[in-house]
Structure 1
Amino acid sequence: MDCGPVSLKMIAKFYGKEFSLDKLRSITFTTKEGVPLLAISEAAEQIGFKTVGGRLTFDKLEKEALLPCIVHWDQDHFVIVYKVKHKGVFRKQSKVFVADPAYGLISYNEEAFKEHWISTKSDGKDKGIVLLLEPTPAFFKQEGQTENRGSLKFLFGYFKQYKKFFVQLFFGLLLGSLFQLIFPFLTQAIVDTGIANKNVGFIYLIMLAQLVLTVSRMMVNFTRNWILLHISTRINISLISDFFIKLMKLPMSYFDTKLTGDILQRINDHQRVEQFLTARTLNTLFSFFTLIIFGIVLWIYSFKIFLIFIVGSIVYVLWITIFLKRRRLLDFK
């Protein structure tokens, strides 16, 4: 729904000016159905662009169009074309680089781009809709309107009152990591001392120690998860309550331009932010500590095994990163 104002915002930023999305929504008269290309053109002229809209062939877009430009996508969306690599000896088709407000930066070959862009056929040629934008001196003279980005300070305000609980979580994290560090050495003691010397009493003693450590670790994890649940619930309630209070103060015109799904999505976004800053961050920290601890243990036992462990961990991280990018692209398509 906001693809038009967002596209205009991105092009303005490309030329060195940043405008708030709220301002661009207001001057494009964004509704629940979105915004027409004419409204984007008129809004662009208001902030200092010279615009020309029309239908172009791909050859014209590739060779003559001023980039970046806005193109009509799949008959119901707007994206920005910011670069085109021409076909050559080693490239059979031109490559088009697109900034999609719904996804981000993505590239298409010529054939795939045409499938999304071409809307009509006139004079025997396939054509798509384009809005070309060129900044005028008036664009550079005006002041940009930056958005207020105090989101981090705003969010950390909800965490200040739970400092004591976060200290407890940190100590629980250290204690759980310490228990994990002790286990390999206890196992070594059973094999090297207990079994080698056939000392059954020593084996029982170490097994009892392992049992105590296991129970202790379970208790620490239970306490840590309970504290985390307590903090998460309180923060989530505070976030949602403040969101509803702010929502109730908005004028009715705001709801005329928003779909019900957009408002529900914002509520879900609050929960995702809370989970990211509490549970996911803590789990990431715990995994990082575990990686360091077992790395130290492997270093003590064998430097070669430690190197294999490090290389394997790096390959694993790279694989996950590549997979997530691929999954994000598949979800988008």
Structure 2
Amino acid sequence: MLFPFVKQYDAMDCGPACLKMIAGYYKKNFSLDFLRKRCFITREGVSFLGLSEAADSIGFKTLGAKIPFDLLEGKVTLPCIVHWQQKHFIVVYRIKKGKVWVADPASGLVKYTRQTFEKGWAHSVTDGKKTGLVLVMEPTPKLYEEDDQPEKKGGFRFLLEYFRPYKKYIGQLLIGLFVGSLIQLIIPFLTRSVIDIGINNNDIGFIYLILFAQLSLVLGRMSVEFVRGWILLHIGSRVNVAIVSGFLHKMMSLPVAFFDTKLTGDILQRVEDNNRIEEFLTSASLSILFSFVNLLVFGIVLALFSWKIFLIFLGGTILYITWVSLFMKSRERLDNQRFREMSAAISKLIHIINGMQEIKLTQSELSKRWDWENNQATLFGLKVKSLGLIQYQSAGATLINEMMNILITVVSATAVLKGDMTLGMMLAVQFIIGQMNV
């Protein structure tokens, strides 16, 4: 059974998120907001004592200690909370054969070797042994007397409300999608006709007619894409303004105490992330739908030409999607880490600019600059990891795609030699492969 992982929303939410995970492990559901209040969270996060008192208040028996790894492995009831890298809280939920399984609210479910785990956890030495902070938690009957405080569900329904005023434009986009797919369906048959009818019958008039038809279809498709771009700009800009305006309205209605527990960087980063939401809903989602429809259309055409080629195309597509999907969890984890570090970077810059007088008085210019540079080094490391992951993902996907294309070319050429396919059909197949690679 997978451990009930909970992702932290803000940079200082790691403590409440850990409590929520352990409560979930014991089949209790508390909202993050409820746990934040119990932890007395501030802009600096939550203290070890605050975490212990919050756990006690919801029905856990807690014990904070500084212990070596051997005791953590053999004597401590899991799951438990440990202090990670002297600035973060994570949950240890399994230890076996020198491996440590943790739930990191910022990164997800991660498995460490003993050496890597001790490097991040054990920062003290007691009686000659490396030790680290741990909060042991055991449930009491009081835990099950507490009423659940489930999270309020949001999701796409909330976002879709912003698109309701633009139903007419969305209908136009769907019509454009249908027209574009119809054009994509026709072009391979026109390509086939040029070879099988025009060239084989030496009919130059027919060839010119087909080429003119292809040119007309291409111009029609370009016009559809041109109009689609303007519609997306119209919808996207207004939806983005509406989402940010709603966010600001809700934020301004919150009590002052709310801002005492939030970093400025977290708030600014959430405003910036609205642009990503707008891009996904207006551009990326439509591109995904368009690609899926094209995949379906071209698959039908290939099936009409040759079932063998269609099965190769289907198998290659499934393998391609599977390969790409294998990396999505890792990319999500890196993206969450990037969000946290970007939020910290913004907060540090704002703190430096607004607190320049205090920095000058305390002569802490060097330490503040080094702190910011360390944050930038961490961001650079995340970018390196992200680029390496994307390149590895792209290399495998490209290899799968090219192998599929080569195999389809070989099979179609062999079919032409055997008389099972015409040369026009083969060129139509090559056109489809080219379109799928765009």
What TM-score results when the alignment is normalised by the length of structure 1?
A: 0.94
Distance 1:143 1:255 in 2: 27
Which range is displaced more, 285-294 or 245-254? 245-254
Distance 2:332 2:167 in 1: 35
Structure 1 position 33 matched with structure 2 position 44: yes
Distance 1:314 1:249 in 2: 48
Please, which of 220, 241, 254 is the counterpart of residue 258 of structure 2?
254
Q: For residue 324 of structure 1, report the CA deviation from its aligned partner.
A: 3.4
Q: For residue 2 of structure 1, report the CA deviation from its aligned partner.
A: 1.0
Which AA in structure 2 matches 1:143?
Answer: D
Q: For residue 268 of structure 1, report the CA deviation from its aligned partner.
A: 2.0
Structure 1 position 136 matched with structure 2 position 140: yes
- Match of residue 216 from structure 2: 212
Structure 1 position 99 matched with structure 2 position 99: no
Distance 2:318 2:44 in 1: 46
8 A Cα contact 2:61 2:137, kept in partner: yes
Q: For residue 313 of structure 1, report the CA deviation from its aligned partner.
A: 1.0
Distance 1:120 1:328 in 2: 32
Which AA in structure 2 matches 1:15?
Answer: Y
- Once the two structures are superposed, what CA deviation does each residue of 1:202-257 show, in whole Å capped at 9, x if it has no partner? 11000000000000000011112211221111111111111111122222222222
Please, which of 172, 176, 181 is the counterpart of residue 176 of structure 2?
172
Structure 1 position 112 matched with structure 2 position 112: no
8 A Cα contact 2:83 2:90, kept in partner: yes
- Match of residue 239 from structure 1: 243
- Match of residue 420 from structure 2: none
Please, which of 285, 297, 312 is the counterpart of residue 293 of structure 1?
297
- Match of residue 164 from structure 2: 160
Please, which of 75, 87, 90 is the counterpart of residue 76 of structure 1?
87
For residues 264-303 of structure 1, the aligned pairs below 5 Å read 264-303=268-307
Distance 2:334 2:247 in 1: 32
Distance 1:178 1:227 in 2: 20
Structure 2 gaps, min length 5:
1-11, 338-381, 383-438
Which AA in structure 2 matches 1:69?
Answer: C
Distance 1:123 1:328 in 2: 41
Structure 1 gaps, min length 5:
88-93
Distance 1:326 1:11, change over 3 A: closer
Per residue, is there more helix in 1 or in 2? 2
- Match of residue 75 from structure 2: 64
Q: For residue 46 of structure 1, report the CA deviation from its aligned partner.
A: 0.7
- Match of residue 32 from structure 2: 21
- Match of residue 406 from structure 2: none
Distance 2:17 2:99 in 1: 23
Q: For residue 328 of structure 1, report the CA deviation from its aligned partner.
A: 4.6
8 A Cα contact 2:108 2:333, kept in partner: no
Q: For residue 326 of structure 1, report the CA deviation from its aligned partner.
A: 4.2
Distance 2:15 2:334 in 1: 24
- Match of residue 186 from structure 1: 190
Q: For residue 273 of structure 1, report the CA deviation from its aligned partner.
A: 2.2
Distance 1:257 1:136, change over 3 A: same
8 A Cα contact 2:81 2:90, kept in partner: yes
Partner secondary structure for residue 327 of structure 2: helix
Which range is displaced more, 210-219 or 255-264? 255-264
Partner secondary structure for residue 238 of structure 1: helix
